[in-house]
Amino acid sequence: MAHPDGMARLLAFGVRNVPVVARGDKFVFGQVIADVAELVGVKAPGQAALTPAELVSKWVFVLEAAQRFVRQLPTGKLDERAVANRDRSVRYLAFHVFRIGEAFLEVTEGAELSVELPNVPPGDSMRTGDDMARYGAAVTARIAHWWERIADKSCEERVPTYYGQQPLRDVLERSVWHSAQHVRQLMALLERWAIAVHTPVTDADLKGLPLPKGVWE
């Protein structure tokens, strides 16, 4: 987005999606910080990671907050762009918060985490914030049920993703902070429209998740 030749440089590596970190003619996907550190020749940062149980707890909290926030979205605003420099509507963003969870559940059932899997657009039934909140409630309940019945709560099983085989725990973490980042964006939209956010999510609530500093990054 920031550089006109960015897509050409990306396509030269044979990929179409970011984040990608490149050094000379070598690149890695940016989802795995250890891979990035190895590419650039530095020690991977030590980070106290949340346990899978803590991640699921935060995810349920985040998705329940998202249900509150999407109900506050004015229906007349849903087809506006969420941010000027990206062709993504408010409707898409609101649906996407929950679709990330549904995509994760599909991965636990054997699907590969492709770029497209969490990026399915909202269908015709997703017309209002209430529609999306009901969908989100169903996804949240399914995530809680998955956690109750999963035998290996260390989530060490490796699953296929577009950036290689990854521990399920890492895919879980990425899904949780992905939803959380979009929840921050939903709050920013409400604030932009001078709508008081119903029980905001705070930085303290999201502590331990590797979130970007910027809300729209």
For the chain, the average pLDDT equals: 91
Residue 131 pLDDT grade (very low, low, confident, very high; cuts 50, 70, 90): very high
Q: Which fold has domain 52-192?
A: Four Helix Bundle (Hemerythrin (Met), subunit A) (1.20.120)
Distance of alpha carbon 2 from alpha carbon 185, whole angstroms = 20
| 158-161 and 86-89 beta bridge pairing | unpaired
Q: Give the integer Cα–Cα distance in Å for 160 and 1.
A: 28
C-alpha closest to that of 100 among 122, 126, 119: 119
Q: What is the CB neighbour count within 10 angstroms for residue 31? A: 18
Positions of E strands within 59-203: 81-83, 86-89, 158-161, 164-167
- What are the sequence ranges of the domains in the chain? 6-40, 52-192
For residue range 39-73, list pLDDT tens digits in order. 777 766 655 589 999 999 999 999 999 999 999 99
Beta-strand (E) ranges in 50-200? 81-83, 86-89, 158-161, 164-167
Q: Which residue in the block uniquely carries the two structure tokens 């929840």?
A: 183
Local structure of 106: helix, strand or coil? helix
Query: How high is the pLDDT of residue 104?
Result: 98
Task: For residue 96, give both structure tokens.
Answer: 């996407």
Q: How many Å is the maximal CA-CA distance in the chain? A: 50
Q: What torsion do the CA atoms of 210, 60, 147, 31 make, to the nearest 10 degrees?
A: -20
Mean pLDDT of 150-157: 96
Neighbours of 206 (CB within 10 A): 18
